[in-house]
Amino acid sequence: MRQILTLFAVSILALSACRKKGNNGGGNQVAAPVITIQTQLSTDTICGEEEDNVLKVSVRDTLRVRFSLKGDVELSQYKIDVHENQPCHHHGEMPPADEHFWHVSKVVNLSGTHYEGEEIFVFEDGLTLGNYHLMIKLIDKNGNEAPETELNVVLLD
């Protein structure tokens, strides 16, 4: 009986030692950083679904996307990714790239726990009009990732 109790106690110690600690090296989990879009968004039907994260812009205009990035620990970087959403793909089912589609891939290094940002997009002549995804990703120095923010951009004539 004593051997069973000893084995049980050792098992409990081993299990508690294997518990995942927070990314800060202590027992407390650090919250993921947060992305807040400050540009006014609208609601519209995109690909047959009502979306509340829509930005409509004429190809002759400039698109400005303002956002706030915050974290409990120092921020590391954010990434902007713009790609076509035609014909209404789902991520993982990307259509072949076409030189007339609007594409952006940009990484910005950060420092501090708070960043107020603005991305300005000027459109080239000849871009394909229609639906695009504008994705914003954020990671802090500990590797915590914010939930990815997806905006639906409708490029109009």
pLDDT band per the 50, 70, 90 thresholds, residue 142: very high
Say what the pLDDT of residue 24 is.
Answer: 46
User: How do strand 49-58 and strand 104-109 relate by DSSP bridges?
Assistant: unpaired
Distance between CA 26 and CA 98 in Å, rounded? 48
Q: Which two tokens stand for residue 23?
A: 């990314």
Look up the CATH number of domain 31-156.
Answer: 2.60.40.2550
How many Cβ atoms sit within 10 Å of the Cβ of residue 152? 21
How many CA within 13 A on the CB side of residue 92? 0
Q: What is the pLDDT of residues 26-64, one digit of tens each?
A: 445 689 999 999 999 999 999 999 999 999 999 999 999
User: How do strand 104-109 and strand 62-70 relate by DSSP bridges?
Assistant: unpaired
Distance between CA 100 and CA 28 in Å, rounded? 48
Say what the pLDDT of residue 139 is.
Answer: 98
Least confident of 125-129, 133-137, 138-142: 125-129
pLDDT band per the 50, 70, 90 thresholds, residue 91: low
Q: Where are the domains of the chain?
A: 31-156
Residue recorded with tokens 């009986």: 1
